[in-house]
Amino acid sequence: MKQRTYLLAIAFIFLYFFICTAQNINKTEHNKTTYSSKNRGCEPIAYQYGDHWTNFSPGTFNATTLVYESTELNAKTIDTLPFNTSVNILAEYPDYFLICTQNRESGYVNKKEIYLQSIFWGLKMRTYLFGISAYGTNDETSCDNSKLQVIKINDKKEILNVYQDSIYGKDYSINQIHNSALKNSEALFHLSYHCYSGIGVEVNNFIVDNGEQLSRLVLTSGSGDGGIFDQSIVYLPLTLTNGKKIILAKNGVLSINQITAEPEIFPYPKDLKIPIEELIVVQDISEEYIDGYKTDGTMARDIVTHATTFYQWNGTTLLKIKTLKGH
């Protein structure tokens, strides 16, 4: 009798263990299924691959952005997104982007309501949002005008300033100029874009934030085709990383000419008696590649400097000082 009771007890223990194990397995499988179902759909962020960092981080420009089920007229609204909501662009259409929202649902939004770049400036806890607020073309090479918009916000997503300017085409590149020594400059950006209209056209626009407003500092353009081109080079004050010297560097960045292997800097003209932090130099040149090579092995070029113009930035306004012909 005791042996039978003992065997029944052991059987009961094994049965209890089996039931508990089965319940745990079912619970685990249920959790796996729930987790998987929550993560089906599109990816809500645009991943950066490799070591090449970019500031491409799209989001919503407007106070409210409607997300549609399709691109058809009177399409059903499936979601609304508040200002400065990050999205992932999955595809581009003439008037819409197909996006993925933070809840992993895809839908269509008007292209002009999406900014494309977001640059965070940690020293001032400010973020700058860059995008096209009015598309004049969908052609990548067209010189038709589009409208660029820049919105500056604080860490509470409050809008501090809005800047708008026209650009050629719809594609552009934007970079913040670090270590700028420009007077009264909270942030400085280099906007560049190009198009083709019989000849190639390239534009460089420098946008400055003086702490009060965003404004155009200086804009230059160049054009050319078949080895002959004209361009205007901008030299801006730059503090070297040791913090002890300021130079006038091409586009505000210390760079090396790929042909001459020399630094692309402009010698500071002391005779102007303008503090280097306030000085901007624009040099107009033409360049033509000719047959053959020079003795140093570089391609032969004919470079002519047509004019050099000196400007003074007083912190709010750019003033023209003088122009020297042929320098």
**Is position 112 within any domain?**
no
**Is position 5 within any domain?**
no
**Is position 155 within any domain?**
no
Contact 300, 291 (CB under 8 A): yes
Q: What is the pLDDT of residues 45-62, one digit of tens each?
A: 765 444 444 688 999 999
**Is position 254 within any domain?**
yes
- In the predicted model, residues of the chain with pLDDT beneath 70 are 1-41, 46-54, 294, 296-301, 327
- Specify the pLDDT at position 191: 96
Q: What is the pLDDT of residues 185-241, one digit of tens each?
A: 999 999 999 999 888 999 999 999 999 999 999 999 999 887 788 999 999 999 998
Judged by phi (left if over 0) then psi (alpha if -120 to 50, else beta), residue 125 lies in: left
For residues 106, 107, 111, 114, the Cα torsion angle rounded to the nearest 10 degrees is -50
Contact 187, 176 (CB under 8 A): yes
Number of domains the chain contains: 1
**Is position 1 within any domain?**
no
pTM, rounded to two decimals: 0.81
- Specify the pLDDT at position 30: 34
- The whole-angstrom separation of Cα 122 and Cα 150 is 18
**Is position 228 within any domain?**
yes
| Domain membership of residue 307 as a residue range | 172-327
- Specify the pLDDT at position 241: 80
**Is position 249 within any domain?**
yes
Alpha helices, H only, the chain? 2-38
**Is position 163 within any domain?**
no
